[in-house]
Amino acid sequence: MTDQSGRMRVCILGAGGLGSVIGGYLAHSGVDVTLIGRPTHVEAIRRNGLRITGRLGEFRICQNLSTVTTADAADGHFDYMILLVKSKDTESALEGAVGLRPRVDTVLSLQNDPLRTDKLGRWIDPRKVIGAVTVEGGTLIGPGHVDNHLTSTTTAYFGELDGTESIRAKRLATAFTNAGLNSAAVDNIMQVTWEKLTQVASASAWSISTLPAIRTLYFVDGIKIREGAEHFVQLTKELLSVYKGLGYEPQNFFAPFSRLKEIDSMAFEDAVQSSIGVGAYMQANSMQSRTSMHDDLLRGRKMEAEEIFLPFIDKASEMGLSIPTVTAVHRVATVLNHYLKN
Ligand SMILES: NC(=O)c1ccc[n+]([C@@H]2O[C@H](COP(=O)([O-])OP(=O)(O)OC[C@H]3O[C@@H](n4cnc5c(N)ncnc54)[C@H](OP(=O)(O)O)[C@@H]3O)[C@@H](O)[C@H]2O)c1
């Protein structure tokens, strides 16, 4: 429900790195945003505004932005609720947000979890759930401060789960685009979802198995090295075999970083050269970026390895496909997760 001045109202359940970047830019563009986050972050924003640094420069956002620490404290009715806690926290966050349920028209999640729309559909009338995917990069630097380090030509996609067109998906895509987050409404959101998962699983599996022993390294530092690119191509080809087994052909929805089409169509050596080319592009554009799984590992926080790798391992097993490198990285991640805090 828009407010009295006709503004769209959005609440973000789990305003950490990505949720604060998205909520902050939406508020800056005139959307009425409520961030539901942790007390230290909320208190810092209340004191000094939300600071966003990164690819669009520096912002301090105070207007159109409310902050609360519980869903019950979020005031009024919302056009959209965006779920952005880490996947491990989905159930507890939704449980704590029962009071919000009758006050939201449309719900969506931008998490990297293939089961997220099912989880939302069990929490609320499934007709209120739409699909959503983004590659936008946000990291919580400290209370009240997030960094926005990554985007792509089209950074977010929205769509009905049954593939029909809808005003609500188009309206949200327009709001994101107006906020500097170039977005599209599509009729194939499930394919975009699996393609994004393929991309994030390959980048995450690669990062956590290649870079974290040296804490200062970014994605670009490993992918520009031949052996790094070889490991990346091996992981990506295995993940692509599952994606294609589901009946999809790669489209590079998240160009220019996605090279899934090229890696799929090219022989191994050519794909390695293409991946080294991504590294050169990132270096030329001074792009220092990490996957959120790599960030979590560096911060000593549990990684979303179960949610991101297991669906591929399970699907591969169902389809009789062999993905040994992905399976090996999942094993390593499981050992590390055993010792990381929630
Ligand atoms: N970050 C990215 O660049 C990016 C890009 C695409 C997709 N994603 C996906 O987006 C999701 C969020 O990622 P993120 O990096 O933004 O995670 P994050 O920085 O950890 O943000 C999640 C925030 O939600 C808070 N939270 C957890 N439960 C809550 C509750 N019940 N009420 C209020 N706040 C709660 C967390 O606090 P605590 O830390 O104290 O638990 C944390 O501050 C993940 O599924 C990720 O895979 C991230």
215 φ, ψ (degrees, to nearest 5):
-70, -15
Half-sphere exposure of 15 (CA within 13 A, CB side): 37
Tens digit of each residue's pLDDT (9 = 90 or more) over 230-286: 999 999 999 999 999 999 999 999 988 788 999 999 999 999 999 999 899 889 988
d(C-alpha 199, C-alpha 205), whole Å: 10
Q: How many CB atoms lie within 10 A of CB 127?
A: 11
Q: Please tell me the distance from the alpha carbon of residue 47 to that of residue 41, in angstroms, as a whole number.
A: 10
Distance 230 CA to ligand 1 centre (A): 31
Instruction: Please write the tens of the pLDDT for every residue from 150-187.
Output: 899 999 999 999 999 999 999 999 999 999 999 999 99
Q: pLDDT digit of tens for each residue in the chain (342 aa)?
A: 666 678 999 999 999 999 999 999 999 999 999 999 999 999 999 999 999 999 999 999 999 999 999 999 999 999 999 999 999 999 999 999 999 999 999 999 999 998 999 999 999 999 999 999 999 999 999 999 999 988 999 999 999 999 999 999 999 999 999 999 999 999 999 999 999 999 999 999 999 999 999 999 999 999 999 999 999 999 999 999 999 999 999 999 998 878 899 999 999 999 999 999 989 988 998 888 889 899 999 999 999 999 999 999 999 999 999 999 999 999 999 999 999 987
**Closest-lying ligand 1 atom to the alpha carbon of residue 96:** 31
- Alpha carbon nearest to ligand 1 atom 3, residue: 137
Q: CATH 1.10.1040.10 in the chain, residues? A: 192-339
- Continuous segment of H or E residues that includes residue 327: helix 324-339
The architecture of the domain spanning 9-187 is 3-Layer(aba) Sandwich (3.40)
Q: Which atom of ligand 1 is closest in space to residue 140's alpha carbon?
A: 19
Chain region(s) in the chain for CATH 3.40.50.720:
9-187
Fold of 192-339: N-(1-d-carboxylethyl)-l-norvaline Dehydrogenase; domain 2 (1.10.1040)
Residue 129 neighbours by CB under 8 Å, 6+ apart: 106, 107, 108, 117, 120, 121, 161
CA of 267 relative to ligand 1 center, distance in Å: 37
- With a Cβ cut-off of 6 Å, ligand 1 is lined by 14, 16-19, 36-38, 84-87, 89, 92-93, 96, 110-113, 134, 137-138, 140, 292, 304
Give the atom of ligand 1 at the shortest distance from the alpha carbon of 41: 43
**Strand, coil or helix: what is 140?**
strand
